[in-house]
Amino acid sequence: MKKLYYSIGEVSKITDVEAHVLRYWETIFKELSPRKNKAGNRTYREEDLTLILKLKELIQEKKYSTAGAQKYLNNESSPTESVTPENDLPHEIQKDLKEIRIFLGKLSDKL
């Protein structure tokens, strides 16, 4: 299920963050800079998904400003060790569960 690279559409589905928001966050957070392939399409890595989930938690759930989220990221020692207060699951596990749900949904549609 894990891939080396994800498209912006896949990342949007996995993280529940709109593609235009992802592009906007790229302009603000230097830590989020997906590579572009020869066609100019963004290619996100696992680390990018983890960062996006952290940004989503800070900005959309905890209501940090983008400046506040940037300051938080600069002061945090390891963004992957943080857990969400809602269900106490690490971001990596949340991402994996979301990917499984998407896969099962597609499988269900084919049946």
CA distance 71 to 29: 10
Q: The pTM is what?
A: 0.68
The answer to whether the Cα torsion of 9, 69, 34, 27 is positive or negative is: positive
Both tokens of 67, joined, read 């400046």
Domains of the chain from N-terminus onward: 8-110 (1.10.1660)
Of residues 82 and 9, more confidently modeled: 9
Question: 16-48 pLDDT, tens per residue?
Answer: 999 999 999 999 999 999 999 999 999 999 999
CA distance 57 to 73: 12
Are 54 and 91 in contact, with CB atoms under 8 Å apart?
yes
Are 8 and 22 in contact, with CB atoms under 8 Å apart?
yes
